[in-house]
Structures are given as C-alpha cells and as structure tokens.
Structure 1
Amino acid sequence: MTVAVTGASGQLGRLIVEALLREGAAPVVAVVRDPQKVADLAEQGVDVRQADYDDAAALDRALAGVDRVLLVSGNEFGARVAQHTNVIRAAERAGVRLFVYTSIPNAETNPMTLAQEHRGTEAVLAESTVPHAILRNSWYWENFVGALPHAVESGVLYGAAGEGRVAGAARADYADAAAKVLTTDGHAGAVYELGGSERITYTELAQVISEAAGKPVRYQDLPEADYAAALEAAGKPAAYAGALANADSGIAQGVLDVTSGDLEKLLGRPATPAVEVFRAALS
C-alpha cells in the first residue's frame, strides 16, 4: 500500500510523514514543491515527488500508483478551493482508494473566515468519486507560540475570544492521528472532529503560559476590531490580522470547543498537554 502526503515539507506534513515511518508504512510518498526541503526524508527511503497544487499534470505524476493520500490544506488563502480541487481530481484519475483531508471543526456551520475554503473543499469532496475521510483539526497549541515571548515579557496575553473554550492539541498529535487513519482500515466516509481533552478559555490559557514560563501572565480580552488593529500595529498584514481576530471571535462562539473525543480515540492515548508544548517552545 502506497501512502502519499501532500505539502510534506510543511510543519504538519513533515510530522505526518515521520509518523508514517514510525508506523512502518511503506512505501511513503512525500509530495512537495521543493524536494531539497525534504532531502533528509529521501535519505530515510521516502519517495519524494515534486508538484504544487496549481499544476494538474505534476499532481497526476505525483499521485501515480498511490493507494491512499492525505491532502494537507494549502496556505494560499483565496485560492485554496481551486487548488484542493486539483488534488482531488488527480486522486480520482489515479484511482486512489482513500483520500484524507485536513479541515476545521464544525466546517458546515463554522463562522470563521478561515472556515470558508474548508467548507468549499468539503463540498467538492462530497461530490467526488474518491472514497474519503475528513480530519477536522482544532487549534494547534503551537498556534500560540508566536505570542509567548510578548506575553511572558509583558505579563499580558491579548485576544478576542471572551470566555470561549478551545480544545487544542499539539501538532504532532494531529499528525499521529492522521497516520493512524492512513494506515488502518474502516475510515472511508468518516468525519472526525479532532481536539484535545484540555478545553480551556484564554484566561486559563494565560495561566498555562504562566506555569510554563514561571512568570505571571494574565489575559486581556479585546473587541475583535481592536485586537485586529493591535495585531496590525505589531506588524501583521491587515488581512492576516483580521483573520486571526475573526478566529478568536469564532472561539468566543464555541466553534473550537470540540468534545467528541475522536482525537484521543485515534491516538489510543491522551493528547499532549499545552504546558508541555509551551515549555518546549520557551526553552
């Protein structure tokens, strides 16, 4: 059984390939834009194939002979549905037997700006001929790592999430769950709502950061527009700042408060605590 991972040079994609290798999957195909970025994986026996999401012919070559494929969602906002559709169509032409896609929790109703293209991709998959499973990943604890230095130095974590809860997990946990789906049977047609067992508010998140850093950190809630302006003032591009602030508003509405337990069922173990992720980042 040949298993392929697209976007394999990215943070999540690389972790999934590494998890597949630990699972003993073989052969493993890494689909990347720049093969040089995964030269170390090639040295471990991974079949590295070059393609990007805009090149249908290259995708056909990359997925030739592949039985199962995981599409790591792209990061070119505004182009992702078309790009993802290219991968889905290539998988159909290749006769892929299981197509796995990384989406977002509650994609059908999720009001976040970030959810729109996931919803569009899921709609394409629903009408496709390829058997598929959807991994609706909640937030990675690593999403907060960029804010850690300022939060620890200033003693304040800023956001716009109110008292909404986010069921996060380590990126490696989501990677391990993806590898499990790719290497076991019975997942076609499944939609997994994935999040860790820690369902915490940003007030509690600040407390976890305090524990990891050994310094007091409190949470300061802001209106969405004010938080977006603060992010932009800190150097974030306007569109990205707006998307981040909008995501916090979604958290305030509870859309990332995943309670399914699907992640830990797939892992067969507890998810990694947030404090461990933050301690590692701060060290």
Structure 2
Amino acid sequence: MKLAITGASGQLGRLVVENLLATEPAATLRLLVRSPEKVADLAARGVKVVAFDYAKPETLTPALSGVDRLLLISGSEVGQRIPQHKAVIDAAKAAGVGLVLYTSVLRAQQSSMILAGEHKATEDMLAASGLNYVLLRNGWYIENYLSAVQAEIAHGVVGASGEGRISAAARADYAAAAAEVLRKGASSGTVYELAGDTSFSKADYAAELSRASGKPVTYTNLPEAAYKDVLVQVGLPEGFAAILADCDTCTAKGDLEDNSKTLSSLTGRPTTPLSVMVAEAVKG
C-alpha cells in the first residue's frame, strides 16, 4: 500500500507523516513537496521524497504513479487553491490513484465564510472527477489563535465573533485523523466533519489567557471592518485581514461550532483542550 501526502513539509503534513511512521514502514510513504530539501530529515528515515510543484502540472502525474491513497492537503496560497487543486486531481485521475483524501473546512458546502469558497470548489471537482474520494472537513485550529499570545496578554483580545463558539482542536488532532483514514481507507464519498470536543468563545479564550498568565485579559468585540483595520495595523496584508475578519463574523453565526465529536471518535482519544494549548503557548 503506497500512501502519498502533498504539502508534507508543512505544519500539518509533517505531523501526518510522523503519525504514519509510528505504524507504517517508511518505504510505503511518498512525500510530495515543492522543496525536497525541507524534508531531508524525513528522507533520511527512509521515506521517498518527490518534487511536486503545482505550477508544473506535467510533473504531477509521474509523481503519483503507483500511489494507492493520496492525502491532498489544501494549498497554503489563498486565491490560488482552485487551479492548484485541479492540477492534483487531474494528475491523480491520470495516474489511477485509488483514493484521494482532501482536507476541506467544516461544513464547507453550507459555510458562509469567504475562506470556504475554494474548499467548496475543490469538493465539487472531486465529486465530478470520477475518483474515489473522502472529505476531511477540518474545523478551526487552536494554533490559529496562539501566534500573538504575548501581545494579547498585554493589550487584550480583539475580534468580531461576539459570543460565537469555536469547536477548535490542535493541529496534531487533525493530523492523527488524516493518518487514521490514510491507513484504513474509507468508502468513496465519506465526509468527516472534524472539530474539537469542547467549544469556546473568544471571551473564554481571553479568560484562559488570563488564567495561564496570571494577568487580566479582556475580550473586545468589534465590528468586522474595525477588526480588519486592527489586523492591517499589526502587519497583515489587507486581503488576508479581510478574510480573517470575515471568519470571525461567521463564527458569530455558528460556522465554526460542531458538537458531533467525530474527530475524537475517529482518533480514539479526546481532542487537545484549549487550556493545555494556551498554557504551552504562554510558557513559550
């Protein structure tokens, strides 16, 4: 059984690979990356590394030759994902890949988030491709909130999510789920709505920061446009700031809450609590 992972040098991809290496022979894994040198450490452990560049579609089909199951981790270049994902799907079909797993977003077809658009399109392309496919609809990553903990402890948490709740989980939890489905497979068309066991609001997140740091941390809810301006002021590109502000507004509508516990059922263990992730981030 040959298992391939796109984006294997990324944060999620590396965790998937490490999870697989705990149970699978290294020789069964194929890492598809734009820059092979970034996974030289993994290549040294016996996995096959293949250069895989979305911008060179003619190279993709040979790279997928002989692959039984492919994990297509959604690309990191927002705005470029549809042509990139189409190139991989076309190559997977040409190479005769047996099953494609795609990391989508929670309830992609119903989500009102701008960010969901490229995921919806990719799901539709898979459905129309004739390939066997599985959708891993990942909810929010707790790590999305942890890059600015020290600034938030000092100045407070801001956002536009109101009292909306987020069923977030750690990146490692989603990686464990992807690895599990890669190992065991699933019926074509299976959809997993994946999210953390326990939801929280941004006010809850601020309270957790306060507990972990021993300092008072407040949450200030802003209109979407004002929150976008804050994100631009701290250095985010305007387009990306608009997407994040939109995600926060959609959080207030319930787009990131899910109580199914499908993720923990799939991995066989509880998802990582917010308190654990925040405590680790505060410690640095």
> Which bin holds the TM-score, normalised by the shorter protein?
over 0.9
The structure-2 alpha-carbon separation of the partners of 1:162 and 1:25, relative to structure 1 and needing over 3 Å to count, comes to: farther
- What is the one-letter code of the residue matched to 1:160? A
| Unpaired segments ≥5 residues, structure 2 | none
Q: Give the Cα–Cα distance (whole angstroms) in 2 for the partners of residues 126 and 99 of structure 1.
A: 11
The structure-2 alpha-carbon separation of the partners of 1:119 and 1:89, relative to structure 1 and needing over 3 Å to count, comes to: same
Matching residue of 1:205: 205
Contact 1:138 1:194 in 2 (8 A): yes
Matching residue of 1:252: 252
Matching residue of 2:141: 140
| Unpaired segments ≥5 residues, structure 1 | none
Matching residue of 2:64: 63
User: SS of the counterpart of 2:147?
Assistant: helix
The structure-2 alpha-carbon separation of the partners of 1:237 and 1:185, relative to structure 1 and needing over 3 Å to count, comes to: closer
Q: Give the Cα–Cα distance (whole angstroms) in 2 for the partners of residues 25 and 85 of structure 1.
A: 30
Matching residue of 2:125: 124
Contact 1:25 1:183 in 2 (8 A): no
User: SS of the counterpart of 2:219?
Assistant: strand
RMSD: 1.1
Contact 2:198 2:259 in 1 (8 A): no
Whether 1:227 aligns to 2:231 is: no
Matching residue of 2:218: 218
- What is the one-letter code of the residue matched to 2:132? P
Contact 1:147 1:157 in 2 (8 A): no
Deviates more, 1:222-231 or 1:87-96: 87-96
**What is the CA-CA distance between 1:25 and the residue it aligns to?**
4.9
**What is the CA-CA distance between 1:216 and the residue it aligns to?**
2.1
Q: Following superposition, which runs of at least 4 residues in structure 1 exceed 3 angstroms of deviation?
A: none
Matching residue of 2:184: 184
Matching residue of 1:8: 8
Matching residue of 2:272: 272
Contact 2:62 2:95 in 1 (8 A): no
Identity percentage over the alignment?
47
**What number of residue pairs does the alignment pair up?**
282
Matching residue of 1:95: 96
Matching residue of 1:242: 242
Deviates more, 1:165-174 or 1:51-60: 51-60
User: SS of the counterpart of 1:167?
Assistant: coil
- What is the one-letter code of the residue matched to 1:94? A
CA displacement, residues 166-212 of structure 1 (integer Å, 9 cap, x when unaligned)? 10000000000000000013342211110011111111111122223
Contact 2:3 2:68 in 1 (8 A): yes
**What is the CA-CA distance between 1:233 and the residue it aligns to?**
1.1
Contact 1:161 1:249 in 2 (8 A): yes
- What is the one-letter code of the residue matched to 1:140? Y
